[in-house]
Chain A
Amino acid sequence: MTMTEARPAEGATSSSPATPPSPVGQAVVDSADHKVLGLVLIGASLLLFLVLRAVGSALGAEMISAGGQVVGDNSRRFYSLYETGIILLWVAPVWMGLATHLLPLQIGSSRLAFPRVQALAVWTHLAGAALFLAGHVIDPPPGIGLTGREPFQAPLGGINDGTNLILAAFLLLGLATLLAAGNLLTTALTLRTEGMSLGRMPLFTWGVVAGAAGSLLATPVFLASSLLLYLDLHFGGSNLFADSRGADLVWQKGLWLYGRPEALLLLVPALGAACDIVATAVRRPLSAPPPPPVPHGLKAKLPPLPGLVTPLAGHVLAVGALFAAATFSLLAWVQDRQTIDAVILPTATIPTALFAAAAGVLVLLWLTTLREGSVRPTLALGFTAAAILVAAAAGLNALVAGLAGVEGSELGQGMIELVTVGVPTLLAFGALHHWAKKLFGAPLSGPAGALALLSSLGGTLAIGIGQSIAGYAGVEAHAREAHGDARVGFAIAQVGHVLLLLAGILIALDVARVMAARRGGDTAPADLTDGVTLEWAAPSPPPPENFTELPEVRSAAPLADLAAAKAAGPAGAGRSASKSASKSASKSARKKG
């Protein structure tokens, strides 16, 4: 055996018997292993989800309590914390954590391009989250305004400490997003294993790439606006609070970043994850829908369309839809939300509708694939179906609102709960179940997952529908009191908040249980029948170097190829046998000199 046959274990933390093991906390803080960093973010975001859901429940109770005295004078603080936090502290970090953990595994790499940069991004994000929470605890945020997305009057007596902290949190969270997005994108572009061309990358990785590319363009705008606001307020000014067109634009296009565009961008990796969940359920890549029937006379004149109905066509179509979704999410933000010609009021502008169309293409691909394949039902697939159901409910709601001419009310909040919070939350829970063996070393509990699925689906629908009912009853967004039908709507929404809190507790406890059971446990060898993409070729949980051996990559579904070759017999297996990654690396090195 030559030296080159051993896979370089970069990123591995070898421990000699003489060295005493470091405490878990220190090992986590010191670690630049993408799997540890991903788990840190996922764990932190799950905890923050519970906190924010508790805050949402308190707000819901405020609306249905007589006299509205549950949160008292703190309603502004609670609204700001819940509505900004649910995107910044839950949806964004949970998907960043999943991408950090899974992307190198999916492309056959042993590490991220810059492990220490990712560690910096993760800890910066957590520091930003801590500052954001502290800012809301110390002072109500009059300087930021409710949710940081509209220009408000300057705070009397100047900026308070809470606003200062929240602004610093915005800068840190934006910086962390930027660092992570650049690192993930670089990893996907440069550290793919041999044979893994761009076209063969799994769709979750493509979703991360599209989302990261959009974030690299959108987040600097958020940072620039935060910098402007910080300079203005910190030195005693109030120019960005003046009721001028300029101030409006800075608020809407800069600080509203984490409202529409970032939330839609965060949906892109979620959609990519759903693609992989569906492909895994049928053990093959996505299929394109069959072409429409062509009249017999015309058919003779048309040239044949080779490859249109092949699995590759479905994969390529999905990649195109993911990139289209990322592009339309940026366009949705570029449009001025007050001057646009909205096609469907209250929240759907033309680019938003185009985003929905791109997502609709993906749903069509999923349904085609499921119809043509032999489906192995899983909880992850159930969460994906729930997300489709919620998205369909939101579309129907938008249509009804457009016909009824309702806009700018609590209805918009309901739509945000359905689309920008509900769908990525359901898909995040689905992704945690789908990749649990790779993330935590063992699958999550089926009964607990089923209960979480039911309660999260019911909760999301209840919040969205309840708030929409209040909107149809004429309640303005962020109102403090409700009567009649609106009160019924808020009561339904309150049930939804509690159900989602329950779902979050179930998932968090299940993850904690599996993680506790895993400590000190053995690594299970890879089960190549678990899925079709490369991450399933890694042991569970993956060792520091990720893979002990890698199959040859010849398509977007290398493990399906391997299974087909094995099924074809010794000759086929011989042609496409599992090949040591070190051998392929050394072969490539010889080729390159």
Chain B
Amino acid sequence: MTVAAPLALPPAAQVLERTRSRNAAVVATALYGLAALALTAALIGAYTAFRSGVSPWPPAGVKKENYFGTLLLAASGMLMLTAEWMVWAVIHDIRRQTAQASGLAAFLLLAMLNGVLFTIDEADFGAATHAYGAIFYAFMVVAVLTQLAALAAVVVGLARTAGRQISPTEPQLARVVAIVLQVAALTWVMVWGALYAGSR
């Protein structure tokens, strides 16, 4: 029985399959990201519906702290820019900047998580106190979940960068991480728009 010697390079069909799988990851992340934004938009729809039917709104006793909400909005803006910086660095094969952008994104996400948890801690009402409470906590649950997902994606991205598994020829994973970061940032922008900017 003869045993074929292994080739140094993977077969062309496998290369094609790997590229298609990575493109699929980008498409799937964009689709699931769109669904996450649709979920936040649905909560905004519920918020708007209740606001038009319940008076006063927000209910008496709810103290709104605009400072942290707006601070988190600024962090969201920086996160969006950092995500694109990371992709740019990967495409231009600047690994040092890729690592820096990933690290900054992780730091911003931790800060945002801390801010959201602080906002929850400061709220002196429960999810069942009134309709505002239910929607407020639903917003916070969605924000925390998207930020945790983004943090996980950044950690994976950092590990792949350290392991030299993201390159200019295969930047799809960086794009996947960037989309998850954008969704986390946009989710907070939408939450801020409803809870802080859109509240009368």
- B43:A246 contact, CB within 8 angstroms: no
- A227:B54 contact, CB within 8 angstroms: no
- B32:A182 contact, CB within 8 angstroms: yes
- A1-18 vs B, CB cutoff 8 Å, 1 = contact: the mask equals 001100110100000000
**A7-B13, A187-B24, A590-B12 known; A221+B133 contact, CB < 8 A:** no
Instruction: Pick the most buried of A113, A191, A224, A586: most chain B CB atoms within 10 A of its CB.
Output: A224
- B134:A237 contact, CB within 8 angstroms: yes
State which residues 212-237 of A face B: CB under 8 Å: 216-217, 219-221, 223-225, 227-228, 231-237
State which residues 111-142 of B face A: CB under 8 Å: 126-131, 133-135, 137-138, 141-142
A254 within 8 A of partner (CB)? yes
**What CA separation (Å) do A247 and B50 show in the bound complex?**
7
Choice from B15, B16, B31, B43 contacting A182 with Cβ under 8 Å:
B31
**A216-B34, A224-B39, A236-B128 known; A183+B16 contact, CB < 8 A:** no
- A183-196 vs B, CB cutoff 8 Å, 1 = contact: the mask equals 10111011100000
Choice from A117, A178, A216, A586 contacting B13 with Cβ under 8 Å:
A586
**A114-B28, A186-B27, A246-B54 known; A237+B133 contact, CB < 8 A:** yes
- A245:B131 contact, CB within 8 angstroms: no
- A178:B46 contact, CB within 8 angstroms: no
- A245:B27 contact, CB within 8 angstroms: no
Write out the residue numbers on chain B whose beta carbons fall within 8 Å of the beta carbon of A249.
Answer: 45-46, 49, 53
**What CA separation (Å) do A285 and B112 show in the bound complex?**
54
**Distance between B174 CB and nearest chain A CB, rounded to angstroms:** 18
- B20:A232 contact, CB within 8 angstroms: no
Residue of A nearest to B28 (CB): A186
B52 within 8 A of partner (CB)? yes
- B12:A589 contact, CB within 8 angstroms: yes
**What CA separation (Å) do A224 and B35 show in the bound complex?**
11
Write out the residue numbers on chain B whose beta carbons fall within 8 Å of the beta carbon of A178.
Answer: 32, 35
**Distance between A250 CB and nearest chain B CB, rounded to angstroms:** 5
Write out the residue numbers on chain B whose beta carbons fall within 8 Å of the beta carbon of A101.
Answer: none
- B42:A224 contact, CB within 8 angstroms: yes
B38 within 8 A of partner (CB)? yes
**What CA separation (Å) do A245 and B45 show in the bound complex?**
13
State which residues 2-33 of B face A: CB under 8 Å: 4, 7, 11-17, 19-21, 23-24, 27-28, 31-32
**What CA separation (Å) do A71 and B46 show in the bound complex?**
37
- A239:B38 contact, CB within 8 angstroms: no
A380 within 8 A of partner (CB)? no
A253 within 8 A of partner (CB)? yes
Residue of A nearest to B14 (CB): A8
**Distance between A120 CB and nearest chain B CB, rounded to angstroms:** 13
- B38:A221 contact, CB within 8 angstroms: yes
- A4:B13 contact, CB within 8 angstroms: yes
Question: What is the number of residues of chain A that contact chain B, defined by CB distance less than 8 Å?
Answer: 53
A92 within 8 A of partner (CB)? no
**Distance between B113 CB and nearest chain A CB, rounded to angstroms:** 19
**What CA separation (Å) do A249 and B137 show in the bound complex?**
19
**What CA separation (Å) do A235 and B125 show in the bound complex?**
12
Write out the residue numbers on chain B whose beta carbons fall within 8 Å of the beta carbon of A253.
Answer: 45, 49
A153 within 8 A of partner (CB)? no
- A250:B49 contact, CB within 8 angstroms: yes
B36 within 8 A of partner (CB)? yes
- B128:A239 contact, CB within 8 angstroms: yes
A69 within 8 A of partner (CB)? no
Write out the residue numbers on chain A whose beta carbons fall within 8 Å of the beta carbon of B21.
Answer: 113
**What CA separation (Å) do A234 and B134 show in the bound complex?**
11
- A308-324 vs B, CB cutoff 8 Å, 1 = contact: the mask equals 00000000000000000
Residue of B nearest to A246 (CB): B50
**What CA separation (Å) do A572 and B17 show in the bound complex?**
31
- A190:B16 contact, CB within 8 angstroms: no
State which residues 234-274 of A face B: CB under 8 Å: 234-240, 242, 244-247, 249-250, 253-254
Residue of B nearest to A109 (CB): B20
Write out the residue numbers on chain A whose beta carbons fall within 8 Å of the beta carbon of B41.
Answer: 220
**A582-B13, A586-B13 known; A228+B28 contact, CB < 8 A:** no
Residue of B nearest to A186 (CB): B28
Residue of B nearest to A223 (CB): B39
**A220-B38, A227-B138 known; A189+B127 contact, CB < 8 A:** no
**What CA separation (Å) do A585 and B16 show in the bound complex?**
8
**What CA separation (Å) do A7 and B12 show in the bound complex?**
11
For the complex of A and B, the 5 pairs showing the least CB-CB separation, nearest first, are A237-B128, A589-B12, A246-B50, A245-B53, A220-B39
Binding site for B on A (CB under 8 A): 3-4, 7-8, 10, 113-114, 117, 178, 182-183, 185-187, 189-191, 216-217, 219-221, 223-225, 227-228, 231-240, 242, 244-247, 249-250, 253-254, 582, 585-586, 588-590, 592
28 contacting pairs across A/B (C-beta < 8 A): A3-B11, A4-B11, A7-B13, A113-B27, A113-B28, A216-B31, A216-B38, A217-B34, A219-B35, A220-B39, A221-B38, A221-B39, A223-B42, A227-B138, A228-B135, A231-B127, A231-B137, A234-B127, A245-B52, A245-B53, A246-B52, A250-B46, A253-B49, A585-B13, A586-B12, A589-B11, A589-B12, A589-B13
Binding site for A on B (CB under 8 A): 4, 7, 11-17, 19-21, 23-24, 27-28, 31-32, 34-36, 38-43, 45-46, 49-54, 126-131, 133-135, 137-138, 141-142
